[in-house]
Amino acid sequence: MSGTIPECNTRIHNIDRIRKAYLMWEDIPIAELIHEYSSLSSMFSWAVKPLYENFPKCEARGEYVDICGIDLGLNKEIYYRRYDIAVVTQRLIPEGREDLKKYLQLMELTNYDKYEALCRGHGVCGNDDYYVSRTPDKIIDINNFRWVRDFDMPPKDFVADDYGWLDHYENPAINQY
């Protein structure tokens, strides 16, 4: 059936956790990376919200924005995926890697929270000059970035398991996407 959106490219239901970071190029946010979770179904989805209004700023400096796994030519406001999308997986340590536990310990994570690992390690990879930042004003120089030295570590009293939980009915932010 033509025009039907596959379920894997739709938003999950009963979302009670939303965490947002930014995909950045130099000092320009190019997309919001939103991780959504439902404790009712134990399902998650990623949402990529391109910041199209910032693309001309990148192009003026010679960067054509291309987000791996997202067809920007569709000009969607938000792209939903019920799986780990390429722009995320290429920026993380693979789950089957032998030394994954060592890296999680360096990041002070007790489990493989991909969103938190992405934020703490800034998602720097060799495929492009993009990186991940918790806020659009947190700028890093990827040319001088050193993975362990430059972690974005939250305060010691920060509990990653609590971060991002929202009350679906009381918080209007949960309905903005």
Reported as a pLDDT band with limits 50, 70 and 90, residue 38 is very high
Q: Are 86 and 67 in contact (CB under 8 A)?
A: no
Query: Cβ atoms within 10 A of the Cβ of 92, count?
Result: 19
pLDDT for 116-158, tens place per residue? 999 999 999 888 999 999 999 999 888 888 776 678 887 777 6
**The pLDDT of residue 16:** 87
Average confidence score pLDDT of the chain: 87
Of 2-16, 30-44, 67-81, 160-174, which range is least confident? 160-174
**The pLDDT of residue 154:** 78
Widest Cα–Cα separation across the chain: 52
Block residue for tokens 């934020």:
119
Mean pLDDT of 12-34: 94
